[in-house]
Structure 1
Amino acid sequence: MRMIFVNLPVKNVEASRRFFGALGFDFNPQFSNENTACMVIEENIFAMLLEHDRFKDFITGEISDATKATEVLTCLSADSRAQVDGTLAKALAAGGKPWKPILDMGPMYGCSFQDLDGHVWELMYMDQAAMAEMGEAAEASA
């Protein structure tokens, strides 16, 4: 079974823990300490939030400033449009910043925001049934 760990530098791990906790994420204490928080996204998907000094242990070069340049887009699926809107509202209330306008393309609906350190997070709901219907209609007209 594969796992994925997205490692992100943060200025203050406790502030990041509060921010993502307000969005409903839990943390694995086995892989967390005073300068690292292991945020559980799904059973085998984690975001390691590492304070700058700890993050530097894993890299060569400098840490990019995500408030000045986009270094990564982390997109998570959502179960509904309401979950997209609700999570965005929680992120903004917890100190996040809006990033791009809401994306509404019928069966695809999403939002994006920046966390406390400027990392971009996207949420996307995809209505699979509507997308299948669109695909079938496109095939029928071809």
Structure 2
Amino acid sequence: MSDSPRMIFVNLPVADLDRSKAFYEALGFTNEPRFTDDTAAAMVWSDTIFVMILTHDKWKSFTDRPIAPAGSSEVSLALALGSREAVDAMAEAAAAAGGTADVNPVQDHGFMYGRDILDPDGHVWGPFWMEPAVANGDAPVPEVAA
């Protein structure tokens, strides 16, 4: 195993690269210009998490598999945030930047709180907050009512 940090690059096909870049910037991602051109943009969430937004033509250069049709969900990507207020702020920023807030019911379990948003291309993101004591294992996970 190398000493390099483990990283993840989430690749997403997008219809309008500039619109998607602006959307992710409004959510707090930053653009990495070294890996951005007119076919793709690297949007940085952290030192180890990047979202690569790719034009449809660029996406098709990686795979022959079809792009999921509008209205479908191929994956839901969760983003851990530091507070309930940060979750609400991201959902509001998503709606203001051309996305959709609360595409699923708000999840409020007391120790955990989350809202699902869609980017302009229908990719599902789930900003959430979890009580730090539960997240780090200092407290048990409470029962969640069904």
Please, what TM-score do these two structures have when normalized by structure 1? 0.89
For structure 2, the residue ranges without an aligned partner over 5 or more in a row are: none
Question: How many percent identity over aligned positions?
Answer: 40
CA RMSD of aligned residues (A): 1.9
Q: Structure 1 residue runs of 4+, over 4 Å off?
A: 130-134
Matched, 1:14 2:18: yes
Report the alpha carbon displacement of residue 68 of structure 1 after superposing the two structures with TM: 2.0
* CA-to-aligned-CA distance 1:21-64 (integer Å, 9 cap, x gap): 11121011111101101010110110100000000000122111
Q: Distance in 2 between matches of 1:118 and 1:38?
A: 18
Identify the residue that residue 85 of structure 2 maps to in structure 1.
82
State which of 88, 111, 114 in structure 2 corresponds to 1:110.
114
Secondary structure of 1:116's match?
coil
Mean Cα displacement is larger for which, 93-102 or 26-35?
Answer: 93-102
Matched, 1:40 2:44: yes
More helix by share: 1
For 1:63-102, list aligned pairs within 5 A.
63-65=67-69, 67-98=70-101, 99-102=103-106
Secondary structure of 1:84's match?
helix
Secondary structure of 2:43's match?
strand
Please, what TM-score do these two structures have when normalized by structure 2? 0.87
